[in-house]
Amino acid sequence: MRVFVTGASGHIGTALIPELQNSGHEVIGLARSDASAAKLEEAGVQVRPGELDDLDVIAKAAADADGVIHLAYKRDLMHSGDIAGLIAANQAVLEAAAGALEGTGKPFVTPVGTLVLWSGGITGRLGTEDDTVASGPLAAAENTTVALAQRGVRASVIRLSPVVHSTLDTQGFTPALIAIARDKGVAAYVGDGANRWPAVHTLDAARLFRIALESAPAGSRLHGVAEEGVPFRQFAEVIGRNLGVPTASIAPEEAAGHFGFLAMFAAADNPTSSALTRQRLGWEPTHPGLIADLDAGHYFA
C-alpha cells in the first residue's frame, strides 16, 4: 500500500515509518523543511514538500495514495494556547484529505487525545471506545473523521494517551513537564495529585496506527492506551526524583502560573481503557511503561 503520512518526520511518524515499511508498505511523507525532507529521504521515504496550509498539496498526495495517516499539527499554536486556531487548521487538513478520498473506500487514520473524553465530562471512571462526545472543540476532529465513513472513506480515529513516551519523545507533554520542573525548581501536581493520565510507548502507538490503516472498520474509535491511568502525583514524583528537585502540591489557582499551556490539563482525571481496541484489532502493547521509561534516564540526559 502507498501510504501518505503527514508528520512523518515527527515523534510518532519516526516510529511509524519503519513499522509501515517492515509490513511491505511504501511511505510518502509531507516535509515542511529541508531538514525534514533529508531525514525522510534517508529513511527511504518519498518526499512531498509542503506545509499544513498547502491544502492542494495535501489533497493531491492523498488522492495519489492508497491510504492516509494524518499525524501533523501546528505545534506553535498548541504551545501559545491558541486552541481555536489549532483546531481550525486541523479541520482544514481533514476536509482536504476527505475530499480526495471520498467514495474510494481507502483508509484514513488520525489521532485525537483521550482527553476528548475528559472534555466531554467522562471522568471518574474508565473511558471506553464506545463513549462519544457530541460536541466541543476537542471533539471536532474526532467527529469529523468518524463521519467520513458516511462519505465512503474507511476512516478511524485513535484516541492517544496524553503521554506517548520513548527516546523519540522530545516535544511532547513529558519533556514539557520536565522542562517546567527544571525551570521552577519543583515538580508540581495539583491538589492531591490523584488525577490519572493514561500512557503508551511510542513504538506500541506506531504499531496501532499501522494495524488501524490495514484493518480498522470505517468509523472506528480506537484507544492508544497501554496504562489506563498513572496518578499525576506519581508522574511528578519520578520527574522530581530524576531531576533532584522536590515534589509539591499547588492549588488549582496556581496551575496557570506554573504549568503554562499545560495548565488546562494538569488536573484532568482521564483514566481510559483500551480493552475494546485490543479485542477488535488484536493489538497488545509490549514496551516499557511510563515510570520505567522515565527511570531509564534518557529524558534527563
Q: Are residues 215 and 115 in the same domain?
A: yes
pLDDT band (50, 70, 90) for residue 297: very high
Domain with 88, as residue range(s), is: 2-163+199-226
Q: Are residues 62 and 205 in the same domain?
A: yes
Q: Are residues 23 and 61 in the same domain?
A: yes
Q: Are residues 264 and 177 in the same domain?
A: yes
Cα 232 from Cα 243, distance rounded (Å): 17
Q: Are residues 214 and 280 in the same domain?
A: no
Q: Find the CATH number of the domain harbouring 13.
A: 3.40.50.720
Would the pLDDT of 273 be above 80?
Answer: yes
Find the distance separating the first CA and the last CA of the chain, reported in whole Å. 38
Q: Are residues 117 and 242 in the same domain?
A: no
Find, among 23, 123, 19, 24, the residue nearest to 71 by Cα.
19
Which pTM value belongs to this model? Answer: 0.95
Q: Are residues 140 and 48 in the same domain?
A: yes
pLDDT band (50, 70, 90) for residue 98: confident
For the chain, the domain total comes to: 2
Q: Are residues 21 and 148 in the same domain?
A: yes
Write the pLDDT tens digit of every residue in 176-226: 999 999 999 999 999 999 999 999 999 999 999 999 999 999 999 999 999
Q: Are residues 102 and 128 in the same domain?
A: yes
Q: Apex CA 73: angle with CA 109 and CA 41, to 5°?
A: 80
Torsion of CA 85, 28, 99, 142, to 10 degrees: -50
Q: Are residues 221 and 236 in the same domain?
A: no
Q: Are residues 73 and 104 in the same domain?
A: yes
Of 226, 244, 276, the residue at which a domain comes to its end is 226
